[in-house]
């Protein structure tokens, strides 16, 4: 319970809500809320440990304009498990919740780099030569992959060489 309260106590910053609170918010804005501003590390950890509502998968599908299976792949969650969690309005496990936070963090950086959500989402879905033709979004299932995507975004931001 203390973890959920810590996740909600962020003041004017992004609120990483508990799984029950996420369901009560507007369906189309939950993932966008995660992307909007960087939340304090303690709030991210609390949200991960508590579990992010599995319904966020639907928000990610809408945000990126991809299939649920593509999101399940990034979250490393079997489709049958994810569908059951969504139907039962239950949270993702901590590992999948951490991947949601990772995707949101990288998406925020991409939005800052490309100037908005549409271009950021398109870039994240486009095969990239620096990633051996994998899409940046598909690389976010692991921290090393996310590190490579961050490195590419940093190079784009600062005009560096890959």
Q: Where are the domains of the chain?
A: 2-158
Cα distance between residue 114 and residue 121, in whole Å: 9
How many CB atoms neighbour CB 21 within 10 A? Answer: 16
Q: Please identify every stretch of the chain with a pLDDT value under 70, giving residue numbers as ranges.
A: 1-29, 160-162
Q: Which two tokens stand for residue 129?
A: 């030569």
Confidence (pTM): 0.82
Residue 61: closest CA among 112, 137, 114: 137
pLDDT tens across 31-43, in order?
Answer: 888 888 888 999 9
The rounded distance, in Å, linking the Cα atoms of 16 and 6 is 9
Query: Which of 40, 38, 58, 46 minimizes the C-alpha distance to 18?
Result: 46
Which residue in this structure is represented by tokens 């993702």? 92
Determine the pLDDT at residue 17: 44
Question: What tens digit of pLDDT does each residue of 73-106 get?
Answer: 999 999 999 999 999 999 999 999 999 999 999 9
Say how far apart CA 14 and CA 31 lie, in whole Å: 11
């Amino acid at each position: 319970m203390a973890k959920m309260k810590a996740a909600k106590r962020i003041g004017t910053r992004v609120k990483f809500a508990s799984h029950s609170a996420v369901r009560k918010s507007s369906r189309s804005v939950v993932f966008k809320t995660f992307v909007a501003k960087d939340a304090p590390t303690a709030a991210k950890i609390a949200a991960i440990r508590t579990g992010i509502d599995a319904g966020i998968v639907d928000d990610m599908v809408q945000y990126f304009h991809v299939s649920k299976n593509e999101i399940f792949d990034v979250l490393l969650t079997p489709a049958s498990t994810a569908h059951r969690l969504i139907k039962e309005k239950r949270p993702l496990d901590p590992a999948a919740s951490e991947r949601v936070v990772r995707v949101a963090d990288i998406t925020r950086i991409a939005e800052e780099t490309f100037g908005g959500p549409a271009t950021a989402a398109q870039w994240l879905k486009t095969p990239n030569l620096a990633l051996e033709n994998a899409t940046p979004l598909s690389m976010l299932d692991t921290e090393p992959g996310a590190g490579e995507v961050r490195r590419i975004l940093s190079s784009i931001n600062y005009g560096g060489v890959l």
